[in-house]
Amino acid sequence: MARLTILRYPDPRLHTAARPVAVVDERIRTLAADLLETMYAESGVGLAATQVDVHERVIVMDTSDARDRPLVLVNPEIVWASDERAVAEEGCLSVPQVYDKVERHARVKVRALDRDGQPFELDAEGLSAVCVQHEMDHLRGKVFVEYLSLLKRDRIRTKMLKRTRDEQRTRA
Ligand code: NI
């Protein structure tokens, strides 16, 4: 297993649409294991392959309190979404220290393949529903800040660019 480097907004590679996984093989299992290791190390509840510059439809999540329920979703598809919507505060490992409210479906049913390539369904509500919709957005190249106003997004963009510059200067 290995910890992977997470792309940081506004890196243009975050806007790449991921392609479906053809076969869930050892390579995909290693990717999923590395995504989980990286997610846990960064204290995130979800991570998409897009965020580590791998553009294939794989996401991992763990929304349990004990952080002992890792979920791997390969080729996830939303097969049902509630009309009811809910607003929750979101953050993202690609946009560190930025949190804002996003409105999404309150509940969704997602069909995916697990790490062995077996199909399963996830009935998601609450944090799990927020997380799976957020991570699936990554797979189509969408970052949560794109739901915010242009003004907010510009501010976040400037802040992130400045922070990355400052960090590079400190390292130099
Ligand atoms: Ni994210």
Tokens representing residue 14 in the block: 């975050």
Residue indicated by tokens 């509940």: 107
Cα–Cα separations (whole angstroms), residue 91 to 70, 75, 94, 145: 19, 23, 9, 9
CA angle 112, 20, 27 (to 5 degrees): 85
The answer to whether 81 and 105 are in contact (CB under 8 A) is: yes
pLDDT tens for each residue of the chain, 172 residues long: 799 999 999 999 999 999 999 999 999 999 999 999 999 999 999 999 999 999 999 999 999 999 999 999 999 999 999 999 999 999 999 999 999 999 999 999 999 999 999 999 999 999 999 999 999 999 999 999 999 999 999 999 999 999 989 988 887 6
Report the alpha-carbon distance of residue 97 to residue 56 in Å, rounded: 26
Alpha helices in the chain (DSSP H): 26-41, 127-139, 150-171
Protein residues near ligand 1, an ion, with CB under 5 A? 92
Catalytic residue among 42, 56, 135, 167: 135
151 alpha carbon – ligand 1 mean position (Å): 20
Which phi and psi (to 5°) does residue 46 adopt? -160, 155
119 alpha carbon – ligand 1 mean position (Å): 24
54 alpha carbon – ligand 1 mean position (Å): 14
Q: Is 135 a catalytic residue?
A: yes
> Which are the contacts of 26, defined by CB distance < 8 A and separation ≥ 6?
none
Report the alpha-carbon distance of residue 154 to residue 167 in Å, rounded: 20
93 alpha carbon – ligand 1 mean position (Å): 6
- Specify the amino acid at residue 24: V
What's this model's pTM, rounded to 2 decimal places?
0.96
